[in-house]
């Protein structure tokens, strides 16, 4: 029953996506939306069938036999859907089908527009690829979740990876990450549509800005939650290890962040058209590359899944995307020439360009360190590793420069300014930077890199607060919403994260020792007292917890032995706004009364990583809402064609049809929305 429903759902979704492509080509717009709903319906049926199989422990389904178990707790049993290769591909396709329907509904009245039609066609093609991966092809096993297997009577199943069933974030982190990954398909589809139709003005940017922002916000949440999970579960005293799969999620975040900045330059000045299209296409390509790294079995990672055929299929798809998008950009090269230019180095567009170059360097360094070992192994068979020191040494200067630009860019006007005006606007942020440096020194901070980070964080944070204060004074509470002001809130979150990163990495203290019951040890001035151990029995594991008093407060690190024989160590953490103290068990006593081996990690300001991430998400939400409407003002490049009118918050007041780039007329704000074309 479950296999039949699952295969039927995949077949319906795959066929509907293929038919949708032909409906777009034939311009049967009424059928396009129906095809989108059928794709979502098929995907939903397949997800329902898989969840039903997991909940009922239907071991005739290969995926359940390989990853399910009667002993798996209910929450993790549901989350097993994305705990392994085939299920994660199914979740990916399901989310993609959801985005497909949202686009179809949002643009239902513009479905006749070639730009929207091409975008829908690209979305259908991407959907079709992922459902082809999962279909039960004879003699070809790519990522088939609904293969039938025979299991002996009384079969229990191994359950998911033990690391994936001992923390509730397993139910939240992967879906958030996938919502971000998959969400970038929408702006990519519109970028390809703009290249295919020649509608290369700013219209497609306006239509996809919020889609990109939502995808970026989900990816940000996924990365922050993943770091929290790593800190709270793995017990190695860290939250980011430059793991290849961690890097795979960071890469599209970097290029997506660069795009969100540079798109404002194109909207305002008609510049960076090639750069923005390249960033959108690169971001989507990097999500496919990240999927390949995670699911090809090429990298050793706690996140990675082992697979055979699906890896080459994803690599071919990645190469196809790169070749097609690069070819389209080259084909339209003459039409993509910027109609504006940078007038002065002291201008907002110049700072955004520098910002983008730094994000590009950051992404290149991370990509190089991630794929270089794979390239070396493919060429000569030698296995090498690129460790944390390389990434820290190469990315730290870029991060510091980005903090500096975060302070300078918001106070710069478009086109140009004077050094006197810039100095006046940066006076208070400069004093804040000096104060931050002095406070850090008084609190005992030492070292050039962390002191620079604290100083630049004070500089950037004060600049963002200055902008928000000015906006609030002019506009009241609406001074906190809109793209510009919401972006300042995001900047505040980034500043908080930067301070937490600098403090927790630079002043980490780790101690390892053995301590007997009743004895007291000291770690970086903190009293560690071991009381004893106790066993807790669960359906899927037996956990031995050590009761440890940290400055008199109880924490319970433990060692869990799962039914499949795996051993997982879980730390106990005493958290506060000043510092986190994490205790992990290294060696359990064989008999009561013997010493226990402990590792104690003391890291300052770790809690602020999660607080800073939350502030970033709040800022992203505030950026979605339009700011206070003012009378439309012409951009500084008013004579340039295809540039929409803007209000003071940077939001479009109306849209200009850029299909004819010779049209330089000023659009009438009173034109009804039904008469405004997309693009």
What's the pLDDT band for 628 if we cut at 50, 70, 90? low
What's the pLDDT band for 296 if we cut at 50, 70, 90? low
> Rounded CA gap, 8 and 37, in Å?
15
> Rounded CA gap, 183 and 95, in Å?
8
> Rounded CA gap, 80 and 171, in Å?
9
Q: Residue 299, Cα to own-chain centre: how many angstroms?
A: 20
Closest CA to 415 of 372, 479, 351: 351
**Residue 172 backbone class (left: φ over 0; alpha: ψ -120 to 50; beta: rest):** alpha
* Tokens representing residue 341 in the block: 């230019």
Q: What percent of the chain has pLDDT over 70?
A: 89
What's the pLDDT band for 654 if we cut at 50, 70, 90? very low
Position 631 pLDDT exceeds 70? no
Asked if 152 and 64 touch (Cβ cutoff 8 Å), the reply is no
What's the pLDDT band for 297 if we cut at 50, 70, 90? low
pLDDT score of 648 = 35
Torsional sign, CA 70, 76, 80, 84:
negative
Average pLDDT rounded to a whole number, residues 311-339 = 87
Q: Please report where in the chains the tokens 């949002």 appear, as a residue.
A: 106
Higher pLDDT among residues 421 and 186, named by residue: 186
Q: What is the pLDDT of residues 416-453, one digit of tens each?
A: 777 788 888 888 888 999 999 999 898 888 888 889 99
* Tokens representing residue 468 in the block: 């928000």
Position 637 pLDDT exceeds 70? no
What's the pLDDT band for 639 if we cut at 50, 70, 90? very low
Asked if 278 and 329 touch (Cβ cutoff 8 Å), the reply is yes
What's the pLDDT band for 85 if we cut at 50, 70, 90? confident
pLDDT score of 13 = 95
Helix (H, G, I), strand (E, B) or coil at 589: coil
pLDDT score of 51 = 95
**Residue 524 backbone class (left: φ over 0; alpha: ψ -120 to 50; beta: rest):** left
Average pLDDT rounded to a whole number, residues 567-579 = 89
**Pairing state between β 596-604 and 572-575:** unpaired
* Tokens representing residue 670 in the block: 């009173």
Position 139 pLDDT exceeds 70? yes
Asked if 166 and 230 touch (Cβ cutoff 8 Å), the reply is no
Residue 583 backbone phi and psi in degrees, to 5: -120, 125
> Rounded CA gap, 77 and 201, in Å?
48
* Tokens representing residue 11 in the block: 């077949």
Q: What is the pLDDT of residues 60-76, one digit of tens each?
A: 999 999 988 888 888 99
How large is the angle between the packed helices 244-269 and 173-183, nearest 10 degrees?
40
> Rounded CA gap, 204 and 210, in Å?
11
Q: Please report where in the chains the tokens 């179809």 appear, as a residue.
A: 104
432: exposed, middle or buried (C-beta count within 10 Å: 0-12, 13-18, 19+)? buried
Angle at 52 between CA 51 and CA 55, to 5 degrees: 85
Average pLDDT rounded to a whole number, residues 543-563 = 89
**Residue 555 parent element (H or E):** strand 553-555
Q: What is the pLDDT of residues 386-400, one digit of tens each?
A: 788 888 889 999 999
Position 353 pLDDT exceeds 70? yes
Lowest-confidence segment of 87-96, 344-353, 616-625 by average pLDDT: 344-353
Q: Residue 481, Cα to own-chain centre: how many angstroms?
A: 22
CA distances from 355 to 269, 411, 587, 612 (A): 17, 14, 48, 21
Asked if 462 and 403 touch (Cβ cutoff 8 Å), the reply is no
pTM: 0.86
Angle at 222 between CA 362 and CA 49, to 5 degrees: 135
* Tokens representing residue 94 in the block: 């399901």
Buried b (16+ CB within 10 A) or exposed e, 27-59: eebebbbebbebbbbbbebbbebbbbbbeebbb
383: exposed, middle or buried (C-beta count within 10 Å: 0-12, 13-18, 19+)? exposed
> Rounded CA gap, 426 and 409, in Å?
11
Position 341 pLDDT exceeds 90? no
Q: What percent of the chain has pLDDT over 90?
A: 40
Position 636 pLDDT exceeds 60? no
Position 90 pLDDT exceeds 80? yes
Q: Please report where in the chains the tokens 């006197």 appear, as a residue.
A: 420
Q: CB-hemisphere CA count at 13 Å for 54?
A: 28
What's the pLDDT band for 335 if we cut at 50, 70, 90? confident
Angle at 237 between CA 388 and CA 372, to 5 degrees: 20
Position 464 pLDDT exceeds 80? yes
> Rounded CA gap, 81 and 43, in Å?
13
- 3-class DSSP string for 367-426: HHHHHHHHHHHHHHCCCCCCCHHHHHHHHHHHHHHHHHHHHHHHHCCCCCCCHHHHHHHC
What's the pLDDT band for 415 if we cut at 50, 70, 90? confident
């Amino acid at each position: 029953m479950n296999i039949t429903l699952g295969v039927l759902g995949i077949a319906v979704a795959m066929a509907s996506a293929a038919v949708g492509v032909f409906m777009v080509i034939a311009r049967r717009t009424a059928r396009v939306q129906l095809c989108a709903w059928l794709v979502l319906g098929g995907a939903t049926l397949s997800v329902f069938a898989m969840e039903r199989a997991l909940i009922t422990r239907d071991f005739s389904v290969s995926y359940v036999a390989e990853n399910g178990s009667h002993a798996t707790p209910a929450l993790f049993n549901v989350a097993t859907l994305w705990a392994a290769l085939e299920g994660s591909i199914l979740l990916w396709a399901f989310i993609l089908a959801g985005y497909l329907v949202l686009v179809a509904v949002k643009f239902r009245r513009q479905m006749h527009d070639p730009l929207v039609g091409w975008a829908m066609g690209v979305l259908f093609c991407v959907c079709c690829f992922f459902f082809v991966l999962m279909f039960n092809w004879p003699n070809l096993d790519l990522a088939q979740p609904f293969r039938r297997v025979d299991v002996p009577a009384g079969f229990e199943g191994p359950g998911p990876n033990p690391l994936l069933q001992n923390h509730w974030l397993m139910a939240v982190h992967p879906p958030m990450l996938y919502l971000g990954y998959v969400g970038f398909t929408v702006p990519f589809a519109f970028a390809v549509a703009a290249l295919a139709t020649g509608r290369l003005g700013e219209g497609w940017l306006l239509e996809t800005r919020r889609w990109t922002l939502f995808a970026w916000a989900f990816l940000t949440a996924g990365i922050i939650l993943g770091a929290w999970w790593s800190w709270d579960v793995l017990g190695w005293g860290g939250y980011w290890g430059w793991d290849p799969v961690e890097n795979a999620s960071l890469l599209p975040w970097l290029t997506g962040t660069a795009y969100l900045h540079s798109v404002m330059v194109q909207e305002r000045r008609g510049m960076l058209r090639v750069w923005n299209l390249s960033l959108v296409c690169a971001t989507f390509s990097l999500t496919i590359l990240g999927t390949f790294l995670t699911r090809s079995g090429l990298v050793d990672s706690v996140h990675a899944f082992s697979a055979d055929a699906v890896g080459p299929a994803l690599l071919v798809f990645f190469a196809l995307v790169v070749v097609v998008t690069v070819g389209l950009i080259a084909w339209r090269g003459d039409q993509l020439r910027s109609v504006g230019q940078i007038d002065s180095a002291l201008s907002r567009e110049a700072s955004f360009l520098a910002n983008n170059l730094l994000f590009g360097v950051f992404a290149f360094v991370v990509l190089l360190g991630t794929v270089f070992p794979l390239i070396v192994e493919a060429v000569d068979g030698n296995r090498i590793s690129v460790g944390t020191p390389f990434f820290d040494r190469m990315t730290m200067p870029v991060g510091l420069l980005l903090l500096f630009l975060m302070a300078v860019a918001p106070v710069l006007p478009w086109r140009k300014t004077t050094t006197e005006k810039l100095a006046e606007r940066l006076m208070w942020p400069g004093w804040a930077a000096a104060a931050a440096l002095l406070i850090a020194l008084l609190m005992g901070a030492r070292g050039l890199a962390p002191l620079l980070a604290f100083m630049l964080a004070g500089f950037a944070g004060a600049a963002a607060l200055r902008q928000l204060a000015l906006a609030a004074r002019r506009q009241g509470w609406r001074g906190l919403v809109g793209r510009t002001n919401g972006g300042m809130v995001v900047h505040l979150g980034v500043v908080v994260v930067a301070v937490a990163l600098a403090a927790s990495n630079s002043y980490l203290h780790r101690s390892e020792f053995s301590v007997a019951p009743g004895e007291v040890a000291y770690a970086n001035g903190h009293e560690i007292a071991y009381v004893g151990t106790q066993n807790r029995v669960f359906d899927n594991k037996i956990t031995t917890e050590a009761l440890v008093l940290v400055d008199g407060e109880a924490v319970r690190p433990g060692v869990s032995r799962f039914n499949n024989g795996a051993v997982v160590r879980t730390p106990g953490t005493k958290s506060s706004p000043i510092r986190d103290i994490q205790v992990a068990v290294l060696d359990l006593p064989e008999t009561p009364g013997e010493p226990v081996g402990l590792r104690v990690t003391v890291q300052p300001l770790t809690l602020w990583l999660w607080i800073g991430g939350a502030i970033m998400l709040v800022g992203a939400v505030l950026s979605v809402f339009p700011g206070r409407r003012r009378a439309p003002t012409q951009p500084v490049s008013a004579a340039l064609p295809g540039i929409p009118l803007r209000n003071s918050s940077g939001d479009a007041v109306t849209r200009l049809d850029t299909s004819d780039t010779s049209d330089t007329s000023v659009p009438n704000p009173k034109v009804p929305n039904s008469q405004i074309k997309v693009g």
